[in-house]
Structure 1
Amino acid sequence: MSLSLGFLNAKLFFCLCVTFLKHHFTFSASNPTGLTLRAVLDDSSGSPLYLIENLTIAERTERLIKVTNARANYLSLVSNCDARIHPDNIPMPISREGLFYVVEFAIGSQHHKMNASATYARLPCDHPLCKGPGDRYTCFDGFCVYNVHYTGGASTRGTASMETFHFSIYQSEIESFKNVIFGCSDDSSDIFFKNTDISGIFGLSMSPDSMMMQFSSFIHSRFSYCLVPFADAIPRPLVLRFGEDIPQLPPDVRTTSFVQSPTNHFYYLELWGISVAGHRLPFSQSTFQYRANGKGGCFIDSGALFTQIDAGTVGINAYAAVMQVFASYYESKSLRRTTSRGFELCYERPPNYDDFASLTFHFNGADYTVAGEYVNLISPDIFCVAIIKGTYATMLGAWQQQNKRLIYDVGMGALQFADENCVNDIS
């Protein structure tokens, strides 16, 4: 991976926290302070989605559970890391098990090496991201640099840089952003997207150097998406909207505030409780709080396919308690347990059975209710409760975000959501 090799049509996988669902993007007409990216599913060789339509639903499920667990392991390791980017601070293996969305755009004023671009500059050591509280880089020879080594042998190092990013908005119209800060690598080894068209990470977290924060004045610190249902366990394309391109909110929109984490920039939410099929479990408001050891809390992440509920909550195993209510619910329907497909609870499905238990996350100020059809992974003869045991936190995954309009409003400091038929979300 080397952004210094050329500035023609850089492709970066983007992230909410670092999101792992791979698609290719085209662009469509936008408002003056808006931006819309359309995604098409990538199933190229090397992607976990490669030939996924040729797999059985059971095989697809196993693959997507593996992706979810890999994502959770990654986030667990990153959440315990020092925020600064210096050698050996990310003890994680780099693998190609994840799923990615990919955004394509041009960088710089010339389609050549960085030194030929009139708009390229290196970040000086007196920049806030390189000096003082919250610094992200280290100073070397007058400029900000990074040198990251990962467990497993992968590494990347380079210079924190500034350039102009050019997005093709509509036909020949170009939207340019000047002085965008990014890491320009001149030495990378064994990175998982090496020898691919992907050049780096397009971050949408609340980190000060993410694209979300750097473009905040243009997009009003807001972005949104609506996940089309994953029929037959196949992730679908989506439309990612920014700023004024976000549709008008419906009257029943719900709002809950983000909770700042002391160790990372994920989108944490204040979870007060959980209900299954309308039955609220006896959790205290402190059950899902962020813990002093860096574990706990609840955050939303579209890079994990399936929701994880923390099994390490203090005083009670929240995951076990939730799954017990699901088990009691389906036992009351006289359903027969069957072999697991990687989930704890799977049942034989009688003909035309659709009495699936709903799931509600009781956030501070807003209830997030998932219809039963999106809580479970359903096939004609079997269904499974699509929830996985969490080992360090509770994570609201993409499966339980289907047919929801989700708006990340960093300016407001809140997540907004409402039910929506996402198949109609076209530009």
Structure 2
Amino acid sequence: MDFPVITTNSLLFFTLLIFLHYPNSCLSSLILPLKAKLTQSPAVTTPNKLSFHHNVTLTVALAVGSPPQQVTMVLDTGSELSWLNCKKTPTTPSSFAPHLSTSYRPIPCSSPTCTTKTRDFTLPVSCDPNKLCHAILSYADASSVEGNLASDTYRFDNSVALPGMVFGCMDSGSSSNPEEDSKTTGLIGMNRGSLSLVSQMGSRQFSYCISGTDSSGVLLFGEANLPWLKPLNYTPMIQISTPLPYFDRVAYTVQLEGIRVAGTVLPLPKSIFEPDHTGAGQTMVDSGTQFTFLLGPVYTSLKNEFLRQTKGILRPLGDPNFVFQGAMDLCYRVELTRAVLPQLPSVNLLFRGVEMSVAGEKLLYKVPGLTRGSDSVYCFTFGNSDLLGVEAYVIGHHHQQNMWVEFDLARSRVGLAEVRCDLASQRLGLPP
């Protein structure tokens, strides 16, 4: 998502549109607010992947328990287990109190949920002294949370009840950003794992559309039968059943086959984009990561070609020691008085059966609050995953702006179509 530079406490409002299909329920749709808040430093990270270095935390307000307790949870399509802060002595209003919920149920070690459904966790679960299922979730920025698996009733807008939803009731952990983490109650996992919210809801398809110009956006569970939506082009999800050390089996993995800058295809073999025998080199579509990260050799080739095609158009920063967010070392100086960026060569990501075009303002990101003399600093929105110690290609949400992105689990494919997401929100009758 491409957000304007705003103050730390400013809020942008998104909308969550959910089509639910539950037995014995006559409800067909529900609209919830999804908030995007600018933060000063990394907030939440994703297991087995790079840390959230983005400046925006997406949150959704839910109610959990009986009677319902209001919680605010980070929405993450790259994580499996949802979790809530369940500290025994809450120090902030962002804690969930399990002892006040009559529908709260801790999960024992003997439960199949503990013994079989946790196989894709980063760390194996254990049994605590009370014979309850204990989990530790560790993240790429060295933060972690730990506690017991439990189940309770989740409620959307206090109307749609989802009983028996499994989550982590976390009572301890370490954080890279305690101030920001204290403003949310936990995290909603949305990947393909058996304990993600998507899987537990039984949803076989969901979509989202992120606007690049304003605060409107849509997340939709269920089939998108929308007459005004362009036909989607699909690329198959790549699945590997054998456990490999560097392959995330429950991520939304597709096959990147090449990259084109304007009319020039990077002179790279297709094999460089394919996972190797360890699983390193998978390509993940992830709304929880802001920018796109490429393995070192591919990133270097793209960087050199972009530099070649923008020579005389953009002025390089000229500071070899400046690396934005630890992985983005191609940055430029742009006059503060310049309102519009110059014409830039587009970068097309070539997937099997689908192309994703990254053009215009999506190619450069203005570093908030940083100037050099009378210039702003802009950085190329592709980074080097090798610098982060990540053995994967990750397609971030910044490059998914104004695209309808559909995750079709029933047919094991990802669909893309260019669309004005602000107009999509209007057509769905959502508030601006």
**TM-score, length-normalised on structure 1?**
0.69
Quote the residue 2:170 is aligned against.
Answer: 185
Instruction: Indicate conservation of the 8 Å contact 2:191/2:198, yes or no.
Output: yes
Shift of 1:348: 5.7
**How many residues are treated as equivalent by the alignment?**
350
Instruction: Indicate conservation of the 8 Å contact 2:273/2:282, yes or no.
Output: yes
Instruction: Indicate conservation of the 8 Å contact 2:204/2:409, yes or no.
Output: yes
Letter aligned with residue 195 of structure 2: D
CA distance in 1, matches of 2:234, 2:187: 29
Which of 183, 197, 200 pairs up with 1:214?
200
Quote the residue 2:217 is aligned against.
Answer: 238
CA distance in 2, matches of 1:148, 1:381: 38
Letter aligned with residue 159 of structure 1: N
1:176 partnered with 2:161 = yes
Distance 1:353 1:117, change over 3 A: closer
Quote the residue 1:387 is aligned against.
Answer: 382
Counterparts of residues 109-148 of structure 1 (less than 5 Å): 109-110=66-67, 113-132=97-116, 134-135=118-119, 136=121, 137-140=125-128, 141-147=130-136
Distance 1:321 1:183, change over 3 A: same
SS in 2 for 1:425: helix
Instruction: Indicate conservation of the 8 Å contact 1:277/1:357, yes or no.
Output: yes
CA distance in 2, matches of 1:198, 1:284: 44
Shift of 1:122: 1.9
SS in 2 for 1:119: coil
Quote the residue 2:363 is aligned against.
Answer: 375
Distance 1:160 1:282, change over 3 A: same
Quote the residue 2:60 is aligned against.
Answer: 103
1:329 partnered with 2:298 = no
SS in 1 for 2:170: strand
Letter aligned with residue 299 of structure 1: M
Counterparts of residues 1-400 of structure 1 (less than 5 Å): 32-43=27-38, 47-48=39-40, 78-79=47-48, 99-110=56-67, 113-132=97-116, 134-135=118-119, 136=121, 137-140=125-128, 141-147=130-136, 156-168=145-157, 174-188=159-173, 192-193=177-178, 196-216=182-202, 220-229=203-212, 236=215, 238-244=217-223, 247=226, 250-260=229-239, 262=243, 263-264=247-248, 265-311=250-296, 317-331=297-311, 334-335=312-313, 337-339=315-317, 342=324, 343-346=329-332, 354-377=342-365, 385-391=380-386, 392=390, 393-400=392-399
Quote the residue 1:88 is aligned against.
Answer: none
Shift of 1:229: 1.3
Render the CA deviation track for 1:87-110: whole Å, top value 9, x for unaligned: xxxxx9x99976311111111112
CA distance in 1, matches of 2:183, 2:379: 36
Instruction: Indicate conservation of the 8 Å contact 2:313/2:342, yes or no.
Output: no
Shift of 1:180: 0.2
Instruction: Indicate conservation of the 8 Å contact 2:19/2:29, yes or no.
Output: yes
Distance 1:415 1:283, change over 3 A: same
CA distance in 2, matches of 1:382, 1:184: 42
Render the CA deviation track for 1:280-305: whole Å, top value 9, x for unaligned: 12322221122344532221222332
CA distance in 2, matches of 1:336, 1:375: 12
CA distance in 1, matches of 2:172, 2:308: 55
Letter aligned with residue 337 of structure 1: R
Distance 1:159 1:347, change over 3 A: closer
SS in 1 for 2:302: helix
Shift of 1:222: 2.2
Quote the residue 1:410 is aligned against.
Answer: 409
Shift of 1:362: 1.3
Shift of 1:161: 0.7
CA distance in 2, matches of 1:322, 1:30: 40
Render the CA deviation track for 1:132-188: whole Å, top value 9, x for unaligned: 4753533344432224577999654322111111111xxxx7111011001113444
SS in 1 for 2:108: coil
**TM-score, length-normalised on structure 2?**
0.68
Identity %: 23
Instruction: Indicate conservation of the 8 Å contact 1:147/1:155, yes or no.
Output: yes
Distance 1:33 1:124, change over 3 A: farther
Letter aligned with residue 386 of structure 1: T
CA distance in 1, matches of 2:141, 2:379: 34
CA distance in 2, matches of 1:96, 1:283: 28
CA distance in 2, matches of 1:164, 1:27: 19
| CA RMSD after TM alignment | 3.8
CA distance in 1, matches of 2:366, 2:176: 36
Gaps of 5+ in 2: 1-10, 21-26, 70-96, 368-374
Shift of 1:319: 1.0
Distance 1:111 1:214, change over 3 A: closer
Letter aligned with residue 287 of structure 1: I
CA distance in 1, matches of 2:393, 2:138: 28
Distance 1:33 1:279, change over 3 A: farther
Quote the residue 1:5 is aligned against.
Answer: none
Instruction: Indicate conservation of the 8 Å contact 1:25/1:103, yes or no.
Output: no
Instruction: Indicate conservation of the 8 Å contact 1:36/1:245, yes or no.
Output: no
